[in-house]
Structure 1
Amino acid sequence: MGAPLNKVFLPLGGRPLLLYSVRLFEESPFISTYVVVAAPEEVGFCRTLLSSCSPDKLAGVVAGGETRQESVANGLRALPEDCSFVVVHDGARPLLSRDVLEGAVQRAFDCGAVVVGVPVKDTVKVVEQGGVTATPPRSSLWIAQTPQVFRRSLLSRALEAAGEAGFQGSDDSSLVERLGVRVEMFRGGYENIKITTPGDLVIAESLLAGAKGAAGEAQERGEEGRRIGLGYDVHPFCAGRPLILGGVEIPGETGLAGHSDADVLLHALMDACLGAAGLPDIGSQFPPGEPRWKDASSLALLAVVAGLLDEAGYRVAQVDLVVAAERPRLGRYLEGMKERIAAVLGIPRTAVGLKATTTEGLGFVGRGEGIAAWAVATVMPKKIRPPSPGGRG
């Protein structure tokens, strides 16, 4: 993706990709519990993001491994012992439909192993050293997707056998196929795309708009409805904590005091965004006494705020920020901060203004007691669907 964040945390329709799958699992009666497997360094970020949804079925967030198979095995071990069937799904496939999910699970109850997929539309050529060596019959070729559903004992056995043989499969069903077990194909949908490139996000946005019945029916309101919010925050230094600003950890520096990761810059930005949309401030959204926000990633909280704006009918168009710190010098970290902020909000990097300054030795910042930050956010109404002629809007 070329993004500073894992693609499953990038925004689609105002909220992170991963939350679409989570919402589906929460709503489906066919799913009793689920585990999210994340990169080890992203477990904390992921937990913060999921905590904002107050999930009822989430059994945990666990660290993955070096390969897909290791990650699936880690997730499998974290599921309750009485779980007899398991669904494996890519968090980068946010547009899975409930019908496909539940249909695949129902089929797996009967046969024990199911992979969701769609028929190949184009002719496929086998090429070796630049030359075509075969043209397989298209009628027998399908593109595998997820979810893939298995009897738990079968998938566990397939993972163990693959590990012993040193075999690495391209998907989970290939491990089961190695055992000589029949895997059935369940027809999915072409809209169940995997987000891999920036272009895929554009396609997914279009598909999502079409699913909501809004494609081609909305016009962006220009300057009308534009709103601006102001945010300000300050945190004192606190020994024994890492210093995180704009979602970037500043190595070797004393951190800031706060219930979350105390990212003063993002706290000011969140308040600016919420204020522009007329929503309660971050103290109301993420109460400091609530255990689930302790040491929470403020970058993940910013993603949650973007979702709150989406629900209120707004999107962030542009932000401008100032951070005042006598120490450390922040110049070389500013571009990394801008990249992360832009990625979470789904705006161009050029729409993020960010300056670092000092107070020339004046005040609490000048005395080296803490860091202050100011933010201005411009939000715009999202595309809206006009009222239907003669009907309800």
Structure 2
Amino acid sequence: MVEANPLPAFAAVIVAAGKGLRAGQPLPKQFAPWRGKAVLRHSAEALAVSGASPIVVAIPEGADEIAAQILAGIDGVRLVTGADTRQGSVRMALEELESSAPQFVLIHDAARPDLPGAVIERLLQALQRHPGAIPVLPVVDSLAVEEQGLMTGSAPREALRRVQTPQAFRYEAILAAHRSWPGGADAGDDAQVLRAAGMAVKLVPGDEALRKLTFAEDFMDDLPLIRIGTGYDVHRLAEGEELWLCGVRIDHSMGLAGHSDADVAIHAAVDAILGAVALGDIGQHFPPSDPQWRGASSDRFLAHALHLAAQAGYRLGNLDVTIICEAPKIGPHRDEMRRKLAEIAGVNMGCISVKATTTERLGFAGRREGIAAQAAACMIRQAR
């Protein structure tokens, strides 16, 4: 069995000194959580696993403590305070590496947390013959030149590439290129700095996983496409009460007692929806101790739960409700119940299922002391 050639030794720079305000997070996006850990830690771990050492991270002024916490346990990490521009931050990080004198260095944006090891391997292989290498992807859409909102021309997409990071360089070459930069306007990236110094940059295949987190919507990918929740509720039967099930009033000798209209089926559905998107339960949002919910129609609860789910980025895929009782018979009202739930939820009736069963006269439902309901909700992440 032939063993793969080990990767050559290399250092890394992670640029994490920006403000990251467009991402809409409560702190700079490089420090915000994404897929279970801070954005910055993802790429730092990926570089460390591939053998990068040291790893110099350029951070905002005053961010030493939070950066140290995020990067704790990763060997070889050094922190430097970045400059006002990306180019300036990279220059400071490269100067920090001078005492280590690495042969190769990868310069990566912290906002690209999903860093495949295969891309790192391709970049390092390219450095065996070239002073610089960058990962790129083809442009698949047609391109238009715009001026004042009007199309004034087109560009040949065949000759254009989308540039990603990390960008890889022979350390001495990129350090010299940054030191010799003539000043004035900042370069778009480090590859342009190297080219301005008269050196070639090799293009290698990038990866769609290396997309940059820029806007608040990008952090939605931290959430699963589909989430499932379940709910269960019970209310006792009492004389003199109205019987509401799935938003439909049913004539019966007894009704359900509760703080609201005691619609046990909708209450189970509300808990299923809230549970799917991890937003608590019906008691948190509509506490029985609050007098405003006394006698309230439960369709308000369902509508509000769906609104909260939408704010969290999810819509209802389907809802399955099972009513557990000896009486009344649910079959004659099933379609009306489905229509009502579909109307409240704003979905096609085909997305709503209502079923009924008995307990074979066992337990409180079998003794006709109360009615129970359980529900399952499938919530689907909304398209951006």
In structure 2, C-alpha distance between the alignment counterparts of 1:93 and 1:81, rounded to whole Å: 26
The answer to whether residue 217 in structure 2 is matched with residue 199 in structure 1 is yes
Given the superposition, is the C-alpha separation of residues 26 and 127 from structure 1 closer, same or farther in structure 2, using an over 3 Å criterion?
same
Q: Secondary structure at the match of 2:143?
A: coil
- 1:221 Cα deviation (Å)? 4.6
The match for 1:220 among 199, 215, 228 is 228
The letter for the 1-side match of 2:219 is: L
CA deviation profile, 1:54-90 (whole Å, cap 9, x unmatched): 11232x1110000011100111122243212111001
Q: Give the TM-score of the pair, scaled to structure 1.
A: 0.51
Provide structure 1 residue ranges, at least 5 long, that are not aligned to the other structure: 210-214, 225-314, 321-346, 349-382, 384-393
- 1:166 Cα deviation (Å)? 2.1
- 1:132 Cα deviation (Å)? 3.0
Look up the match of 1:44. 65
Look up the match of 1:245. none
In structure 2, C-alpha distance between the alignment counterparts of 1:40 and 1:127, rounded to whole Å: 38
Map 1:13-32 to 2 at 5 A: 13-29=35-51, 31-32=52-53
The letter for the 2-side match of 1:61 is: L
Q: Secondary structure at the match of 2:188?
A: coil
Q: Secondary structure at the match of 1:47?
A: helix
The match for 2:100 among 73, 76, 81 is 81
Count of aligned pairs between the two proteins? 219
- 1:220 Cα deviation (Å)? 3.3
Map 1:1-393 to 2 at 5 A: 1-29=23-51, 31-51=52-72, 54-58=73-77, 60-79=78-97, 80-162=99-181, 164-202=182-220, 204-205=221-222, 219-222=227-230
- 1:27 Cα deviation (Å)? 0.9
- 1:154 Cα deviation (Å)? 1.5
Q: Secondary structure at the match of 1:184?
A: strand
In structure 2, C-alpha distance between the alignment counterparts of 1:83 and 1:19, rounded to whole Å: 22
CA deviation profile, 1:319-372 (whole Å, cap 9, x unmatched): x9xxxxxxxxxxxxxxxxxxxxxxxxxx97xxxxxxxxxxxxxxxxxxxxxxxx
- 1:191 Cα deviation (Å)? 2.1
Given the superposition, is the C-alpha separation of residues 222 and 128 from structure 1 closer, same or farther in structure 2, using an over 3 Å criterion?
same
The letter for the 2-side match of 1:176 is: L
In structure 2, C-alpha distance between the alignment counterparts of 1:316 and 1:56, rounded to whole Å: 35
CA contact (8 A) 2:131 2:199 kept: no
CA deviation profile, 1:285-305 (whole Å, cap 9, x unmatched): xxxxxxxxxxxxxxxxxxxxx
In structure 1, C-alpha distance between the alignment counterparts of 2:172 and 2:279, rounded to whole Å: 49
The letter for the 1-side match of 2:111 is: A
In structure 2, C-alpha distance between the alignment counterparts of 1:223 and 1:55, rounded to whole Å: 42
In structure 2, C-alpha distance between the alignment counterparts of 1:223 and 1:15, rounded to whole Å: 30
Q: Secondary structure at the match of 2:228?
A: coil
Provide structure 2 residue ranges, at least 5 long, that are not aligned to the other structure: 1-22, 233-276, 285-310, 313-377, 379-384
The letter for the 1-side match of 2:92 is: N
Question: Sequence identity, in percent?
Answer: 29
In structure 2, C-alpha distance between the alignment counterparts of 1:91 and 1:165, rounded to whole Å: 25
Superposition RMSD in Å: 2.8
- Higher RCO, Cα 8 Å, sep 6+: 1
Given the superposition, is the C-alpha separation of residues 34 and 170 from structure 1 closer, same or farther in structure 2, using an over 3 Å criterion?
same
In structure 2, C-alpha distance between the alignment counterparts of 1:24 and 1:2, rounded to whole Å: 25
Given the superposition, is the C-alpha separation of residues 160 and 223 from structure 1 closer, same or farther in structure 2, using an over 3 Å criterion?
farther
Q: Secondary structure at the match of 1:40?
A: coil
The letter for the 2-side match of 1:83 is: P
- 1:150 Cα deviation (Å)? 0.8
Given the superposition, is the C-alpha separation of residues 124 and 222 from structure 1 closer, same or farther in structure 2, using an over 3 Å criterion?
same
The letter for the 2-side match of 1:90 is: D
Q: Secondary structure at the match of 1:220?
A: strand
In structure 1, C-alpha distance between the alignment counterparts of 2:231 and 2:63, rounded to whole Å: 38
- 1:144 Cα deviation (Å)? 0.7
- 1:6 Cα deviation (Å)? 0.6
Question: Once structures 1 and 2 are overlaid, which stretch shifts more, 12-21 or 123-132?
Answer: 123-132
In structure 1, C-alpha distance between the alignment counterparts of 2:178 and 2:117, rounded to whole Å: 27
In structure 1, C-alpha distance between the alignment counterparts of 2:55 and 2:128, rounded to whole Å: 18
Q: Give the TM-score of the pair, scaled to structure 2.
A: 0.52
Q: Secondary structure at the match of 1:56?
A: coil
**Which structure 1 residue ranges, 4+ long, deviate > 6 Å from structure 2?**
none
In terms of Rg, which structure is larger?
Answer: 2
- 1:131 Cα deviation (Å)? 3.6
- 1:317 Cα deviation (Å)? 5.5
In structure 2, C-alpha distance between the alignment counterparts of 1:192 and 1:165, rounded to whole Å: 30
Look up the match of 2:252. none
- 1:161 Cα deviation (Å)? 2.2
- 1:117 Cα deviation (Å)? 1.5
